[in-house]
Amino acid sequence: MWSTTVGEYVAARAADGRPIRWYEQPKIDKGAYATLLTIGFTAAGQECDILDPVEEVTWTAAAIGDCVLFHVRDEELLTAFPMSASADFGTSPALLSSRTPNPALVADRVTLRSGRVRTGDDVFLCTDAVGAWFLAETERGRRPWQILRDLSTGEGPDFDELVRRQRSSRRMRNDDATLVHVDVW
């Protein structure tokens, strides 16, 4: 879809009297890049219905790049995927390109993991800045999942405030910060 989307964008710019400039073209030609983290939940081989609780559910995740999944149970970090240490984060992770026509190349970059969740577990999906902070805090003997759990309760800071505080204390990099919390109940 990249070629179609870019073609429409270029045409719209030209129609508005703002044609693509010479310095914009190389970035357009290069394409867009992103990391990717997906997760799916299944029970007894079937996709789970959020309104139909079951005792234990299998999760399967796929990742390209440095987004991270954390699975916490009984105040213990069970899984950190695909990164497991704060030192694993660098400046050039594997990326998914809008210009990669070769599915085999994409498949070579994907890592997979699965596990089981049960009632009371927490799953956190984080982009790199939040993921690296989470792992660094864990390595310091702290429990960052407690802070992240409180974000939705009104008892802790809101997410923007947490990110601002952690960045100003230099505990979190000034990079994209995204969090999805799955509270298993």
| pLDDT tens for each residue of 11-27 | 999 999 999 999 999 98
Residue 102 lies in a domain: no
Domain that holds residue 51: 35-94+110-183
Residue 2 lies in a domain: no
Residue 11 lies in a domain: no
Look at residue 50 and tell me whether its pLDDT is greater than 60: no
Single-letter code of the amino acid located at 109: R
Residue 17 lies in a domain: no
What is the predicted pLDDT for the residue at 44? 65
Please provide the average confidence, as pLDDT, over all residues in the chain: 89
pLDDT tens per residue across span 81-139:
999 999 998 888 888 888 776 778 778 889 999 999 999 999 999 999 999 999 999 99
pTM metric for this prediction: 0.83
Residue 14 lies in a domain: no
Looking at the 3D structure of the chain, how many domains does it have? Answer: 1
Residue 3 lies in a domain: no
Residue 9 lies in a domain: no
Residue 99 lies in a domain: no
* Residue 89 in tokens: 């984060």
* Residue 145 in tokens: 């999942």
